[in-house]
Structure 1
Amino acid sequence: MEAGGHDMEAAGHEPYDRSPRARRRDVLQRHQLLRFRGRSVTWLVPLLTLLAIAYVDYNTTGEFRIVSWCVFVSAIAAALCGLWTTVLFAVLALLTYLGADAAWPDQYRAGPADFVLVLVGGILAVLAAAVRVRGERRMLHMMDIAETTRRTVLRPLPPVWGGLDHAAVYLAADAVARVGGDFYDIQPGPHGTRVLLGDVQGKGLGAVEAAAALLGAFREAAYHEPDLATVAARLETRIRRHRVLTVALGRADGDRFATALLLGFPPGDRSTVQIVGFGHEPPLAVGTHGVRLLPAGDGLPLGLGDLIGRAGPPSVLRVTVDPGETLLLVTDGVTEARDGTGTFYPLAERLAAAVARDPRNAEPARLVAHVRDGTLRHCRGRLADDTTVFAVRTTGRPPGPESRLG
């Protein structure tokens, strides 16, 4: 499914935003529409064009000669085919020109001028194909790098992790970069399972670096620290350290901050979730009864706590959740998605209608898919910001050995 140039995949247990992966063995897989039984047939286009030109030229009068149109054959091959296929068609076009022109009496022949046209056109087509294929190889290499970066920042998670069933989808506003400043993770540990979702201010590699720094701090602190407030304090300290480093490096993005939600699921307690908010959109609890808005906490975005001279981390809220309720966390790519009239996406209302229509829509995978599709339909695929939809639900089963080993 594709809309507005943004790639999507069905919500599951693995982060999203990838476009179809480039097959290293076939740099020219860009022409997916011209494939038959898994094989590229783009060569049919210049071949049929060449045959059509030869046929028309042979079956018309001498006053209507189009054999010089063979120059278009190599140009078409350069746009659609690989380098050596383009070379082949450049040679075939030249041979076809020579054979077709020689079949006519002298007074009807196109002559050497058009021969030079077809020859030079073929040479230019081969050069253009070489440049295009080299650029495509470089682009595929960059896409591989972006994919590796994304999987480093947003690591894949097992289907059930830390006693939580979960699903996530990530849509990059930049469909080429495929990675941005949104981040999320689940970290089980001896003190319960902790969940983090956030959005770094700004875009580009600087935002990715800040997200990676926060996730690294979260993965260590969430496992070792018994108090969720201490985990929150470690995140604030980490973003400040990162900002100091960027300033010392002379970069202009030393004022980055991040909104985030930090959740804690205490061990042995399915009915309670701890919430620490850092200026982020509040989570939604979605169940068979409907949708309710949970408190978001009183914290400022990570990196801005020093503006009010806060001595400690924001308060930890304890909220009761019903068995089977799914907690939905989203970034502002969802809540700030606008339609053609400028109306924001009505997330809670759409979810309430979906759950009323089918209670199974409260399941994490179906819930994430519904929000993803609804957001893209609402904004017609034109995402203004990176978009992350993350849903978690307790399974009722105790966490596995990952809670002890991390």
Structure 2
Amino acid sequence: MAMVAAVDVSAGPDVGFLPLVSLGPAFASLTGGWRRTALIGALALLLCAGLGLYDGLFPHRRGWTALLSVVGVTAAGLVAAVIRQRRERELADVRSVAEAAQRVLLRPVPQIAGRLRLAVSYTSAVAEARIGGDLYEVVATPHGVRTLIGDVQGKGLDAVETAAVVVGAFREAAYDEAALTAVGDRLERASARHLTDEKFVTAVLTESQGTGVLTLLNYGHPAPLTVKGNGDIGFLVPPERALPLGLALHNTSAPRPHTVPFAPGDQVLLYTDGVSEARDAYGHFYPLEQRAGLLKEADPQTAVEALRQDLVAHAQGPLHDDAAMLLMRYRDGC
């Protein structure tokens, strides 16, 4: 508005810049509330009237046209500002509900459970979203510390709803069932009741009873990464591939649990395919095994956060799929 006034005064009325004063209330409606828009509109109207009198435009149609332009743009800006503020309040309400859903579905994991130190990271592929189709949970039970990580096929609210069903079933079954395979059976039944149209959930269940052994049950999920205390790195591939949860109607055998040594200083990273299948600008997958050195940080949460930042840097932008990681470290002491 000041620039338009300066040009109008210096160049004279023949330039015809006076209607551009209405840009003030137009831009005010994009960032401010309706009161600020009204104030800027009133100032623009006074400025336009003053410049019109200075230029001697009001005996002519040009002066009145400039005033009507300011009034019209200000009125439109007021309506736009009111609508924008209303939608911002609605969005804030939705975000508060989403945050409450996040605390219920993906609640913070304990830093210490039994003989394990734990850390988790979740990155949603949806802008401004904090939850999606990936899921995780840690439950300390009389049968040991049991963990779950999974990935629901698909995206959006349907995936979130399915994740809630699987996590809820795991929280109940982990306490009730003495065998890890029985926990998996409960998840299979819950998934079969909820999933339709050949949809499925890949998942890995683990159990640590503090005896130096980790038991795993893999339902078609990416093999966890293991980093031994002596520096050896590898993947905990199951002895046989099994179908994901929700596909039991294909009459295939359930996955068999397998055990691996889990001694003090050892680490196991559970993750979803949003990590292993993240691509860079050249189409190269994220080299998770080569980045295992980032897990040397003394604090587990710092380690998994360093890995997450490296993953985002590899993708060079937003991830195309949700990415969840759950790091387990076997610790000394009770």
CA change 1:103–1:287 in 2 (3 A) is farther
Whether 2:332 is the aligned partner of 1:360: answer no
CA change 1:108–1:240 in 2 (3 A) is same
Alignment of 1:323-402 (within 5 A): 323-352=264-293, 354=294, 359-360=296-297, 363-398=299-334
Q: Which is richer in helix?
A: 2
SS class of match (2:138): strand
CA change 1:144–1:254 in 2 (3 A) is farther
Q: Could you tell me which amino acid in structure 1 is paired with residue 222 of structure 2?
A: E
CA contact (8 A) 1:171 1:387 kept: yes
Relative contact order higher in (CA < 8 Å, ≥ 6 apart): 1
CA contact (8 A) 2:38 2:78 kept: yes
SS class of match (2:317): coil
SS class of match (1:282): coil
SS class of match (2:320): coil
CA contact (8 A) 2:109 2:119 kept: no
Deviates more, 1:58-67 or 1:198-207: 58-67
User: Residue in 1 aligned with 2:36?
Assistant: 85
Partner residue of 1:99 out of 22, 31, 50: 50
Query: Which ranges of structure 2 fall in alignment gaps of 5 or more residues?
Result: none
Q: Following the alignment from structure 2 to structure 1, what is the Cα–Cα distance between the partners of residues 290 and 33?
A: 51
Partner residue of 1:174 out of 126, 129, 145: 126
Q: Following the alignment from structure 2 to structure 1, what is the Cα–Cα distance between the partners of residues 224 and 239?
A: 10
User: 1:163 deviation in Å?
Assistant: 4.2
User: Residue in 1 aligned with 2:233?
Assistant: 291
Q: Could you tell me which amino acid in structure 2 is paired with residue 74 of structure 1?
A: P
User: 1:108 deviation in Å?
Assistant: 9.8
Partner residue of 2:97 out of 133, 139, 145: 145
User: Residue in 1 aligned with 2:181?
Assistant: 229
CA change 1:106–1:80 in 2 (3 A) is closer
Q: Following the alignment from structure 1 to structure 2, what is the Cα–Cα distance between the partners of residues 332 and 160?
A: 26
Q: Following the alignment from structure 1 to structure 2, what is the Cα–Cα distance between the partners of residues 63 and 229?
A: 85
Q: Could you tell me which amino acid in structure 1 is paired with residue 312 of structure 2?
A: L
Whether 2:248 is the aligned partner of 1:305: answer yes
User: Residue in 1 aligned with 2:155?
Assistant: 203
Q: Following the alignment from structure 1 to structure 2, what is the Cα–Cα distance between the partners of residues 196 and 297?
A: 19
User: 1:105 deviation in Å?
Assistant: 4.0
Deviates more, 1:208-217 or 1:60-69: 60-69
Q: Could you tell me which amino acid in structure 2 is paired with residue 116 of structure 1?
A: L
Aligned sequence identity (%): 36
User: Residue in 2 aligned with 1:259?
Assistant: 202
CA change 1:381–1:162 in 2 (3 A) is farther
Per-residue CA deviation, residues 227-281 of structure 1 (Å, 9 max, x unaligned), is 11211111111111223xxxxxxxxx44321110100011x42x21111111111
Whether 2:256 is the aligned partner of 1:315: answer yes
Q: Could you tell me which amino acid in structure 1 is paired with residue 267 of structure 2?
A: T
Question: C-alpha root-mean-square deviation of aligned residues, in Å?
Answer: 2.2
How many residue pairs are counted as aligned between the two chains? 331
Alignment of 1:264-283 (within 5 A): 264-266=207-209, 268-269=210-211, 271-283=212-224
Q: Could you tell me which amino acid in structure 2 is paired with residue 378 of structure 1?
A: H
Alignment of 1:59-70 (within 5 A): 59-64=10-15, 66-70=17-21
SS class of match (1:315): coil
CA contact (8 A) 2:28 2:37 kept: yes
CA change 1:59–1:204 in 2 (3 A) is same
CA contact (8 A) 1:345 1:375 kept: yes
User: 1:397 deviation in Å?
Assistant: 4.2
CA change 1:63–1:156 in 2 (3 A) is same
Alignment of 1:27-38 (within 5 A): none
Whether 2:31 is the aligned partner of 1:75: answer no
